[in-house]
Amino acid sequence: MFKTLQNLADLRVTLRPDGPLLIRAQSVGIDPGPADMEFQRTRRAGKSTVYLAGSGLKGVLRAHCERLLRSAGRFACDPTHVRDPQTCGGRSDRDPADPKRYPHAANCAACFTFGSLKVAGRFRVADAYPAKAEEEAANRTEVRTGVGIDRKSQAASGGVLYDAEVVVGGAFDVRISGENYALWQLGLVLTALDDMAGGLVRIGGAKARGMGGVTLESWAVGLSFVDARAGKLAGAHLVQGDKSYGLPAEDLLDAPAGGGESRRGLFRVVRYEGDAVPRLTAALVAGPLDAYLHPEGR
Ligand SMILES: [Zn+2]
């Protein structure tokens, strides 16, 4: 992968259920599908607790980013179609990669951001555990009785009832970290999170029954850069002797107002919190992300 370390991102946000969120059930009938966020149970510090699997949260964010990319006319493969020869992970290395569809070292924009079987993603999502003060509330789950869904017809299958455990309260610490990302990728991830906060992205199984809404609060974004260009956000750029990954020679943006700049070791750190985060997101979307999605309009 990258021989150099150019930048890091540390995105933290608190996720709160806005209505019931399904926990993965042991029984059949409510398989939430591979792209759905999943609450699961584990033991932590001797206690049973619900948590949100990072892979599930990443799947939901990725699926939404794929839709955003496709809406802008860009190709994004669907990695849940494992046998589809168009997916980056399933594509044969013998076929030349169309640079329009697979511009990032033979990967599409979504795989380059979130990873595929062949490439590590630029962003990782950690498992989200209940915030310390919210452990009890998060684990005060309820049981709902639902109707099983028939796999083939996608309709309610006659008489199949299941008991589903749902999370109804508490708060979960979400942490997403990025490394060697282009600024358009940071904009894409932040705007997808913003859409989730705005109710556009629902999570978990049984979305159609009004479940899966969340609110996101206490936003904090820490961005670390190895360069010394004060006042700038710097995306990963092409480095001589490294694979190109479809990165530009330079990827810079004036840091939007509201970010505090400091130093930590060799890094220049720019931090956005609370109300300053939407300003950061808006600047990344209007600048680098828009330029990436619509290069012809520039
Ligand atoms: Zn792909």
Q: Which two tokens stand for residue 195?
A: 């859409």
Give distance in angstroms: CA of 35 to centre of ligand 1: 14
Give distance in angstroms: CA of 110 to centre of ligand 1: 6
- The whole-angstrom separation of Cα 222 and Cα 127 is 19
Q: Which two tokens stand for residue 213?
A: 């809404």
Give distance in angstroms: CA of 161 to centre of ligand 1: 37
Return mean pLDDT, the chain.
85
pLDDT confidence tier of residue 125, bands split at 50, 70 and 90: very high
Per-residue pLDDT, averaged over 68-78, amounts to 95
Name residue, tokens 């006319």.
73
Give distance in angstroms: CA of 106 to centre of ligand 1: 9
Give distance in angstroms: CA of 87 to centre of ligand 1: 5
Q: Report pTM.
A: 0.88
pLDDT in tens, 145-186: 765 555 555 555 555 566 677 888 999 999 999 999 999 999
pLDDT confidence tier of residue 143, bands split at 50, 70 and 90: confident
Q: Looking at the DSSP assignment, which residues form a beta bridge with residue 252?
A: 234
More confident residue, 225 or 297: 225
More confident residue, 150 or 222: 222
pLDDT in tens, 100-115: 899 998 899 999 999 9
- Sign for the CA dihedral angle at 214, 215, 220, 222 comes to positive
Answer whether residue 27 shows pLDDT above 50: no
Q: Which two tokens stand for residue 288?
A: 């680098």
Within 10 A of 134 (CB to CB), how many other CB atoms are there? 17
Give distance in angstroms: CA of 5 to centre of ligand 1: 23
Q: What is the pLDDT of residue 122?
A: 95
Give distance in angstroms: CA of 285 to centre of ligand 1: 21
Out of 3-7, 154-158, 213-217, 222-226, give the one with best mean pLDDT. 222-226
| Contacts (Cβ under 8 Å, ≥6 apart) of 157 | 29, 147, 148, 149, 150
- The whole-angstrom separation of Cα 181 and Cα 184 is 8
Q: Specify whether the CB–CB gap between 215 and 18 falls below 8 A.
A: yes
Answer whether residue 206 shows pLDDT above 90: no
